[in-house]
């Protein structure tokens, strides 16, 4: 993850990042063993490059951050949640085409 607006989230920074006021925050709840999760990664990297000034992408590895997964009601992965000012404003579940993720981001930028 070389893009500077893609960050790894854990229990220590999740709240601070998702509460960012000047940017929309897209959080990807994923796991290394999840094929659909790996398929979504290039889509998210593309979005990060297209919205460098208005979007932060956070990645939560649910195997390493089980408490965050439980707290955020993650039942299947990949689950993508979009936050504005600390509140969830949209959610997408499962691997989707680029256009679906872009449309969701565009609704909240």
Local confidence pLDDT in tens for the 109 residues of the chain: 456 789 999 999 999 999 999 999 999 999 999 999 999 999 999 999 999 999 999 999 999 999 999 999 999 999 999 999 999 999 999 999 999 999 999 999 9
Query: Are residues 79 and 44 in contact, defined by beta-carbon separation less than 8 angstroms?
Result: no
Write down the domain spans for the chain: 6-108
The Cα–Cα gap between 101 and 109 comes to 12
Antiparallel, parallel or unpaired: β 6-8 and 55-61: parallel
Q: Which of 26, 21, 60, 31 is nearest to 46 (CA)?
A: 26
CATH topology of domain 6-108: Glutaredoxin (3.40.30)
Question: Which residues belong to the active site?
Answer: 34, 37
The span from the CA of 35 to the CA of 19, in Å, is 29
Q: How far apart are CA 11 and CA 99, in angstroms?
A: 30
């Amino acid at each position: 993850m070389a893009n500077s607006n893609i960050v790894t989230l854990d229990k220590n920074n999740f709240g601070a990042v998702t509460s960012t006021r000047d940017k929309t925050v897209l959080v990807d709840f994923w796991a290394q063993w999840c094929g659909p999760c790996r398929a979504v990664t290039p889509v998210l990297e593309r979005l990060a490059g297209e919205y460098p000034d208005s979007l932060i992408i956070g990645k939560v590895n649910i195997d390493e951050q089980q408490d965050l997964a439980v707290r955020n009601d993650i039942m299947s992965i990949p689950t993508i949640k979009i936050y504005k000012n600390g509140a969830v404003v949209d959610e997408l579940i499962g691997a989707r085409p680029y256009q679906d993720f872009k449309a969701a981001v565009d609704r909240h930028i």
